[in-house]
Amino acid sequence: MRKKQSLRIAFKSAFAGIYYCVMHERNMRIHLGAGLVVVFLSWWFTLEKYEILILLVTVECVLVAEMINTTVETLVDMISPQFHPLAKIAKDIAAGTVLITAIFSLVVGYVLFFSKL
């Protein structure tokens, strides 16, 4: 049985994963930048607390989907370095997950901001 790591090491590893995604994944930086713009706009348009919470959860979903996509792509590349049709399917599905989440977040943003414009 493997010894459990300390809480400090667990947090350090988690932050290392976030850092890796931000530094190495262009789309993660795009989503993070869009999220920051949305947070600023929610302040600018003085949205209600519940509207801000909805936006924050939506942004968080997109960021998490991007991190899961990165995880899937990394694992697939490690397991199958050469092209394989099943590897492509796994990567395409992971990318589709991000796309669906991002589109949904645009819809949520539109619904919340449309009445303010």
How far apart, in whole angstroms, are the C-alpha atoms of residue 10 and residue 52? 30
51 among known catalytic residues: no
- Say what the pTM is: 0.90
In a domain? residue 1? no
In a domain? residue 17? yes
CATH number, domain of 56, equals: 1.10.287.3610
10 has a pLDDT exceeding 90:
yes
In a domain? residue 52? yes
In a domain? residue 46? yes
Per residue in 29-74, pLDDT (tens digit) is 999 999 999 999 999 999 999 999 999 999 999 999 999 999 999 9
In a domain? residue 106? yes
Number of domains present in the structure of the chain: 1
What string of DSSP letters covers the chain? -PPPPPHHHHHHHHHHHHHHHHHH-HHHHHHHHHHHHHHHHHHHTT--HHHHHHHHHHHHHHHHHHHHHHHHHHHHHHH--S--HHHHHHHHHHHHHHHHHHHHHHHHHHHHHHTT-
State the residue range of the domain holding 27: 7-114
In a domain? residue 65? yes
Per residue in 85-113, pLDDT (tens digit) is 999 999 999 999 999 999 999 999 999 99
Which residue among the candidates 25, 48, 66, 73 is catalytic per the annotation?
66
In a domain? residue 78? yes
In a domain? residue 30? yes
